[in-house]
């Protein structure tokens, strides 16, 4: 049984406060409707949240008057508004989905919307659910999801990341490690590593690196690239020209190309073909002997 003893939004119009309704959805979600507010339509605590006898407080702040208990927003971020959610009991492992409405005039780049949460322990804003916005009648609507509970900002991240690729110098052979340093106003989400137009792989956590088997690349000049993404797919790229030079006799399977084993791919002697030839010769020989015997009995 989940109850919200005291759903208590503050900072809203009195009419909105009095008409606030908390209800339990069929899937176990606790849905708190906030009609009439220009930013928040409803806040949903996902199933599994322990809200027994909890006092839930919701407060909204405008972009012009942010809450005092948070740090400055990183550069490159614009905000449509702030929300504070506190829960008196039940631990901190809740997750909330916030349904939003944002007047077009108050929105940043609609493709760059993300719900960010104030991490007091880390003293930083951290990005969480990206917000897919739909424009209708001059108002964007969408939802963002994040772990509960703290201060949240409905943000537009228009700050690009930075990245620097570091590949080994000189002629490269065998397996080499590509590394990258990357940074972003809200955090780097992943770094992809490419050779020209071919993606070699990606790393989703620091330190950003990838081991590359250069024998899979043709000998000669290549351009390695590192592409960093933030949480709303802003990108940055860094490249480095390299020369790959592996031993020409090196077989595709990494052998020395000289042992002649079947399947080695190095053009060595093929015992499989020899065995097939011997079988065919044996069949012809037996057939000839059988024919000779048949002729001899006539
Ligand atoms: Ca960014």
Quote the ligand 1 centre to 229 CA distance (angstroms): 8
Quote the ligand 1 centre to 74 CA distance (angstroms): 9
Q: Over the chain, what is the mean pLDDT? A: 84
- What is the pLDDT, as a whole number, of residue 18? 53
C-alpha atoms less than 13 angstroms from C-alpha of 67 in its C-beta half-sphere: 20
- pTM of whole model > 0.85? no
- What is the pLDDT, as a whole number, of residue 254? 45
Asked if residue 256 has pLDDT above 80, the reply is no
Copy the structure tokens of residue 46. 């996902």
The Cα–Cα gap between 155 and 103 comes to: 13
Quote the ligand 1 centre to 173 CA distance (angstroms): 36
Cα angle 60, 63, 64 (rounded to 5 degrees) comes to 110
pLDDT tens for 117-176 read 999 999 999 999 899 999 999 999 999 999 999 999 999 999 999 999 999 999 999 999
pLDDT tens for 190-234 read 999 999 999 999 999 999 999 999 999 999 999 999 999 999 999
pLDDT tens for 105-119 read 999 999 999 999 999
Asked if residue 250 has pLDDT above 60, the reply is no
- Which of residues 28 and 78 earns the better pLDDT score? 78
Copy the structure tokens of residue 20. 């606030």
pLDDT tens for 277-293 read 677 777 776 676 666 67
Cα of 83 vs its chain's centroid, Å: 26
Quote the ligand 1 centre to 185 CA distance (angstroms): 5
Contact 181, 191 (CB under 8 A): no
Protein residues near ligand 1, an ion, with CB under 5 A: 157, 159, 184-186, 230, 234
The Cα–Cα gap between 114 and 146 comes to: 10
Quote the ligand 1 centre to 235 CA distance (angstroms): 8
- What is the pLDDT, as a whole number, of residue 213? 97
Q: Does domain 8-157 have CATH number 1.10.287?
A: no
Could you please state the CATH topology (level 3) that the domain comprising 162-244 is classified under: Immunoglobulin-like (2.60.40)
What are the sequence ranges of the domains in the chain? Answer: 8-157, 162-244, 261-298
Q: What is the largest CA-CA distance in the chain?
A: 119
Quote the ligand 1 centre to 112 CA distance (angstroms): 9
Asked if residue 68 has pLDDT above 80, the reply is yes
Quote the ligand 1 centre to 155 CA distance (angstroms): 11
């Amino acid at each position: 049984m989940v109850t919200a003893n005291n759903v208590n939004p503050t900072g809203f119009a009195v009419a909105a406060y009095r008409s606030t309704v908390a209800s339990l959805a069929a899937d176990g979600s606790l849905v708190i409707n906030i009609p009439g507010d220009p930013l928040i339509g409803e806040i949903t605590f996902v199933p599994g949240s322990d809200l027994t006898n909890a006092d839930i407080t919701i407060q909204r702040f405008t972009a012009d008057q942010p809450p005092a208990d948070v740090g400055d927003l990183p550069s490159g971020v614009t905000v449509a508004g702030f929300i504070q959610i506190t829960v008196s009991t039940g631990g901190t492992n809740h997750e909330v989905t916030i349904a939003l409405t944002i007047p077009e005039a108050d929105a940043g780049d609609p493709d760059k919307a993300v719900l960010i949460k104030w991490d007091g322990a880390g003293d930083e804003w951290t990005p969480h659910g990206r917000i897919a916005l739909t424009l209708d009648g001059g108002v964007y609507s969408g939802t963002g999801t994040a772990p509960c509970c703290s201060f949240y900002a409905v943000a537009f991240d228009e700050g690009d990341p930075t990245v620097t690729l570091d590949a080994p110098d000189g002629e490269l052979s065998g397996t080499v490690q590509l590394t990258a340093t990357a940074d972003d106003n809200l955090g780097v989400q992943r770094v992809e590593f490419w050779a020209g137009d071919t993606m070699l792989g990606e790393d989703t956590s620091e330190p950003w690196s990838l081991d590359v088997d250069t024998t899979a690349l043709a000998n000669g000049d290549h351009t390695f690239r590192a592409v960093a993404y933030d949480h709303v797919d802003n990108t940055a790229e860094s490249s480095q020209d390299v020369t790959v030079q592996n031993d020409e006799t090196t077989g595709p399977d990494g052998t020395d190309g000289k042992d002649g084993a079947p399947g080695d791919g190095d053009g060595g002697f093929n015992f499989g073909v020899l065995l097939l030839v011997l079988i065919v010769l044996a069949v012809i020989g037996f057939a000839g002997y059988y024919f000779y015997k048949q002729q001899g009995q006539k």
